[in-house]
Amino acid sequence: MLEDHKNEAQCFRVVHILLLLMMAGTAMSEHSLDTDKEILLNLKSFLEERNPINRGGYEKWNQSSSNPCDWYGISCSPDGARVTGLDLSDNRISGEMFKSFSALNQLQYLDLSKNTLQGKIPDDLRRCHNLVYLNLSHNLLEGALNLAGVTSLEKLDLSTNRFLGDLRLSFPAVCNNLVVANLSINNFTGRIDNCFDGCRNLQYLDLSSNNFTGYLWTGFSRLAEFSVSENYITGPISASSFEENCSLVALDLSENNIQGEVPMQISNCNNLVVLNLCGNNFIGPIPLQIGSILTLEGLLLGGNSFSRVIPETLLNLKNLAFLDLSRNNFGGEIQDIFGRFTQLNSLVLQGNLYTGGIVSSGIHRLPNITRLDLSYNNFSSYLPVEISQMLSLKFLILAHNQFTGTIPPEYGNLSQLQALDLSNNGLIGSIPPALGNLTSLLWLMLANNSLTGEIPRDIGNCGSLFWVNLANNQLSGAVPHELTNIGRNASPIFESNRQSNHMIAGPTECLVTQRLLSVEGYTPFGSLYTIPTRKICRRIWNQLLKGYGVYPVCAMGSSVRTYQISGYIQLSGNQLTGEVPQDIGKMKNFSVLHLGSNEFYGKLPTEIRNVPLVVLNISGNRFSGQIPVEVGNMKCLRSLDLSRNNFSGTMPMQLNNLTELSNFNISFNPLLAGRIPDRGQLGTFGKESFMGNPLLHSPLFDLDDQLPPPPPSNWQDENDIGMDGDGLNSGNGFSWEALLMGYGCGMVFGVAVFYITFRKGEPNWFATMVDGIHQWRAQKRNASRRGDGRKI
C-alpha cells in the first residue's frame, strides 16, 4: 500500500517531468522571427568576440530597430515572418565560421564572401537544408568539403579558398538543383570524371586553378559554360563528349595535359562563343569543322602542337575577334592566311619560331587590328614601315625578335597606340622624334637594342606616357628637360579605356605587367599578391589600362599611401650624361627612377624629393657633391641605391628617417665621410651597403680594413637586378615564373568573355572585374604551383 503510494507518486512525477519536457520541446521547435533574432544576436556576439576592431555592418544590429528584417544584411520572407537571407559579404570578418547557421532554419541565402574566414566549414552547415544560395568565396577556408545535406542549393561559390581533397563527399550529393558551381582557385584534388553526372540542372561550372587529375568529365556539353583551366587533367577528349545538342557557350580547357587530336564533333557546339584549348598537348590538324561555329568570337589554341595549316574555313567566322595561335612551334614565314582574317581584333602569334619578315603575309593590311603580338619569335627583317598603316593598333608587341634597322618615324602616325614594345631586338639608329606624336602612348619599351643618339625632346609631348624603359642601349647626351613632362595627364586615355567595352586587355598583359612590376628587382605587388594566377595578372592589367591604381603610393613627405596610378622611368645601361634636370620635381606620377650605369654627373637635384619615389637607383654614375638631406624626407623609399658615384661630404643622418627602406646601397663613394648609426633604419643594413667608403665609420663593422675589389661591370649588374632575369623573384615569395605560366592565350579567355558578356549583357560570370585589392592580399596561393615546366 505504502509501496503503491510511493509508486503512484513516482509515476506522477515522471509523467509531470515528461509533460514539462514535451512542452519545452514544442516551445523550442516553434521557430519564429524571435528565435531568428535571438540567433542573429548570438551571431553578432560571436563575430564581435573574434573581431574586436574593424567590425562590419552587423555591429549595428538592434540599434535602429528591433525587427531583424530591417537589419543590415538581413532579408526576410515576403510575409516578414522569418529570416531567409544573410549577406555579410565584405564585412571584415575573420576567425572561424559561426556554428549554428542551421538554427535559422528558413535560411535560403547565405553570403559570407570576401572576408577572411578561416578553418573548416562546420558540420552544422550541412543541416541548412533550405539553402539555395551559398557564397563563401574569397576567404581562407580549408579542409575537405562536405556539403551533403544542403540539397536545395542552386548557386554555390567556394572560389578562392584553400579547400582540399576530392569532391566526392559533396558531389553528386548537392547536385539536385544546382545551376551554378564555382570551385575555382582552391586545392581540390582527385578526379572529376564522375562527379557531375547527377547534376542535371547545372549550367555554369568553374573548376579552374585546382589540382584535379584524371580524365575530363565527358558530360560538359550540356552546360552553358565549363572551365577546368589550370589543372592536371590528362587523356584525350572523346568525340562523344560533344553531343549533337551541345549547348556550350564557353569552354575553357586551357593549361592541362590533354592529349590527342581535337574531335571534329566539336562543331556540334554551334553556340560556342569562346573556345580555349591553350596550354595542352593537342596535336594534329585544327579541325576545319570549327569554321562552322559561326558564333565564335574567341579561338584560343596556343601552347599546343597543332599542325601548321590553318583551315580556310576559319575565315568564315565573321564574328571572330580574338585569334591566338601562340606557342605552336610554327616555323618559317608567317602563314599567308593570317593576312586574310580581316575580321580580327587581336592576333597573337607570340612564342613561335617564325623567321623572315611579316609583310609578305599581308597582316599589316588587316583593317581592325587593335592588338598585334608577334613577340618571342625569330623575325629578322627590318622593322616594317607598313605597320604604320594599321591605324587601329593600340598594342604593338614585337619584343624578343631579331628585327634590325631603325625604328620607322612613320610609327609616330599610330595615333591610337597605347603600348609600343620593341625591346630585345637588334634595332639601331636613334629614337625618332616623331614618336612624340603618340599622344595615347602609355608604354614605351625599347630596352635591349642598340639605339644611339639622344632621347628626343619631342617624347615630352607624350602626356600619357607612364612607363618608359630604354635600358641597355647606347643612348647618349643629356636627358632633355622636356622629358619631365611625360605622364602629366593620362586621364583622357584612361577615361576612354574605361568607356570601352571592347577587350582592351589581351594575351600579352602578363608580359607587359611583368615588365611594369619588376623594375630593378622591385615588385610593388610582391607583398600584396601571393596568388600568381593569370586571373590576378589580367585584373592588374585591366586596372592599369583604366588608370586605377593597383598599388599604394605616397605623396611627398608623407608615408600615407593611397592607391593611384604611378609610372617608372628606366634608363639604365646607356651612356647618358649631363645633369639630372631640376624639373624632375614635376614628375608627381612616377614612383621608380632608374638611372644606373650611365655617365650622369653633377649634384643630385634636391627637387627629387618632390617625386613620390619608391625606388631610386642612380648607381654607377659620376654624381658628386653632398647627398641631399632632402632624400631623408622621401618617406616612401624602399630601395635607394647611390653606390659607385663620387658623393662627398657627410652622409646625411636624415637617411635614418627612411623607415621603409629595405634595400640601401651607398658603397663605393670613397669621398663620403661620417658615422654609420648603429640604430635606426640604417643600422639594419650590413657591411655590403657601406663598403668601399674608407672615411665612413661604423661601430658595428670595420670598413677600412681593406678596399674590396671593384664591383662587377655595369652591364652585368644590370642583368642581375634589372628588368628581367633573376631579380624578378626578389619580392617576398612572389614568383613571376609562376605568374607567367598561363600567360599567353590562357588568360585571354576571361578577357574575351568579359568583352562578350559585357556586350551581350549576359551574366558576367567569368570575369569578376575590379573587385578590390583587399581580397587579393588575403588569399594565399602556392607561389610555386605551375612551376612544373610549362613554358610561356
User: Strand 452-453 to strand 474-478: parallel, antiparallel, or no bridges (unpaired)?
Assistant: parallel
For residue 595, state whether it binds ligand NAG (rule: CB under 6 A): no
Give the strand order in the sheet containing 331-332.
331-332, 353-356, 378-379
> Please, which of residues 348-387 interact with ligand NAG by CB under 6 A?
353, 367-368, 378, 380
Site string for ligand NAG, 543-572 (x = CB under 6 A): ------------------------------
For residue 218, state whether it binds ligand NAG (rule: CB under 6 A): no
For residue 77, state whether it binds ligand NAG (rule: CB under 6 A): no
> Please, which of residues 177-196 interact with ligand NAG by CB under 6 A?
180, 182, 184-185, 187, 189
Distance between CA atoms of 685 and 692, rounded to whole angstroms? Answer: 15
Q: Which of 115, 231, 437, 714 binds ligand NAG (CB under 6 A)?
A: 437
Give the chain's length: 792
For residue 139, state whether it binds ligand NAG (rule: CB under 6 A): no
For residue 143, state whether it binds ligand NAG (rule: CB under 6 A): no
Residue closer to ligand NAG (CB basis): 289 or 719: 719
Residue closer to ligand NAG (CB basis): 424 or 619: 424
Q: Which stretch binds ligand NAG (CB under 6 A): 307-315, 405-413, 666-674, 692-700?
A: 405-413
Minimum separation from the CB atom of position 8 to ligand NAG (A) = 44
Distance between CA atoms of 764 and 39, rounded to whole angstroms? Answer: 34
Residue closer to ligand NAG (CB basis): 166 or 579: 166
| Most distant CA atoms of the chain, gap in Å | 123
Count of residues that bind ligand NAG according to CB under 6 A:
71
Distance between CA atoms of 310 and 314, rounded to whole angstroms? Answer: 8
Q: Which of 259, 270, 313, 656 binds ligand NAG (CB under 6 A)?
A: 656
Please report the sign of the dihedral spanned by the C-alpha atoms of residue 661, residue 666, residue 672, residue 677.
Answer: positive
CB-based contact 744:327 (threshold 8 Å): yes
Q: Which of 146, 464, 657, 669 binds ligand NAG (CB under 6 A)?
A: 657
CA 448 to chain centre: 26
Q: Which of 33, 81, 164, 478 binds ligand NAG (CB under 6 A)?
A: 164
Distance between CA atoms of 417 and 25, rounded to whole angstroms? Answer: 73
Q: Which of 100, 194, 624, 782 binds ligand NAG (CB under 6 A)?
A: 782
For residue 154, state whether it binds ligand NAG (rule: CB under 6 A): no
- Calculate the alpha carbon distances from 326 to 338, 377, 425, 428, 514 in Å: 13, 10, 19, 27, 18
Nine-digit cell string for 771? 573587385
For residue 222, state whether it binds ligand NAG (rule: CB under 6 A): yes
DSSP conformational letter for 524: T
Q: Which of 68, 279, 412, 567 binds ligand NAG (CB under 6 A)?
A: 412
Residue closer to ligand NAG (CB basis): 244 or 702: 244
Site string for ligand NAG, 106-125 (x = CB under 6 A): -------xx-----------
Site string for ligand NAG, 617-646 (x = CB under 6 A): ---------------x--------------
Q: Which of 7, 32, 54, 66 binds ligand NAG (CB under 6 A)?
A: 66
Distance between CA atoms of 262 and 256, rounded to whole angstroms? Answer: 14
Minimum separation from the CB atom of position 377 to ligand NAG (A) = 9
For residue 424, state whether it binds ligand NAG (rule: CB under 6 A): yes
Minimum separation from the CB atom of position 629 to ligand NAG (A) = 8
> Please, which of residues 671-710 interact with ligand NAG by CB under 6 A?
none
Residue closer to ligand NAG (CB basis): 437 or 597: 437
For residue 463, state whether it binds ligand NAG (rule: CB under 6 A): no
For residue 157, state whether it binds ligand NAG (rule: CB under 6 A): yes
Which residues are CB-contacts of 679 (< 8 A; sequence separation ≥ 6)?
none
Q: Which of 35, 51, 84, 89 binds ligand NAG (CB under 6 A)?
A: 89
Distance between CA atoms of 397 and 375, rounded to whole angstroms? Answer: 6
CB-based contact 99:127 (threshold 8 Å): no
Nine-digit cell string for 60? 549595428
Which residues are CB-contacts of 324 (< 8 A; sequence separation ≥ 6)?
278, 299, 300, 301, 302, 346, 348, 507, 744, 745, 748
Minimum separation from the CB atom of position 209 to ligand NAG (A) = 8
DSSP conformational letter for 583: G
Residue closer to ligand NAG (CB basis): 343 or 476: 343
Give the strand order in the sheet containing 696-697.
452-453, 474-478, 575-578, 599-602, 622-625, 646-650, 671-675, 696-697
Minimum separation from the CB atom of position 300 to ligand NAG (A) = 16
Residue closer to ligand NAG (CB basis): 26 or 63: 63
DSSP conformational letter for 201: T
For residue 785, state whether it binds ligand NAG (rule: CB under 6 A): yes
For residue 717, state whether it binds ligand NAG (rule: CB under 6 A): no
Site string for ligand NAG, 230-269 (x = CB under 6 A): -------------xxx------------------------
> Please, which of residues 36-65 interact with ligand NAG by CB under 6 A?
62-63
Nine-digit cell string for 512? 607587359
Which residues are CB-contacts of 659 (< 8 A; sequence separation ≥ 6)?
559, 635, 681
Residue closer to ligand NAG (CB basis): 471 or 616: 471
Residue closer to ligand NAG (CB basis): 499 or 706: 499
For residue 725, state whether it binds ligand NAG (rule: CB under 6 A): yes
Residue closer to ligand NAG (CB basis): 355 or 582: 355
Q: Is 426 exposed, middle or buried (0-12, 13-18, 19+ CB in 10 A)?
A: middle
Minimum separation from the CB atom of position 22 to ligand NAG (A) = 27
Q: Is 399 helix (H, G, I), strand (E, B) or coil?
A: coil
For residue 780, state whether it binds ligand NAG (rule: CB under 6 A): yes
- Calculate the alpha carbon distances from 382 to 96, 261, 442, 454 in Å: 62, 37, 25, 22
Residue type, 601: Y
Please report the sign of the dihedral spanned by the C-alpha atoms of residue 524, residue 417, residue 376, residue 263.
Answer: positive
Residue closer to ligand NAG (CB basis): 89 or 564: 89
